[in-house]
Amino acid sequence: MPVSGGYSYSPDFAYVVKTDSGDYLNFIIETKNVDGKDNLRKEEERKIEHAKELFNQISKDIKVEFKTQYAGDKIIELVKQSFAV
């Protein structure tokens, strides 16, 4: 996806999860090997913010969750958080 400054960005993983009720969750994950947002480089933080905004816009028509996985986070826990909302 394009981001400001003429750069591009692509998240690390995309999952489609089917719930017991038959609904689908489109789940996009960006992984970062840092302890949290405060440890991101500004460039990485900017790309993640652009991705969040893009997926928020897409989510108006198709349900899409965008999450950042930091060091120590488990992907399954991020998915479970989305179902709890």
pTM above 0.85, yes or no: no
Q: Which of 68, 73, 61 is nearest to 28 (CA)?
A: 68
Q: Report the distance separating Cα 14 and Cα 68, nearest Å.
A: 12
Along the 85 residues of the chain, how does pLDDT read in single tens digits? 877 778 788 899 999 988 888 888 899 999 999 999 999 999 899 889 988 998 999 988 888 899 999 999 998 898 888 776 5
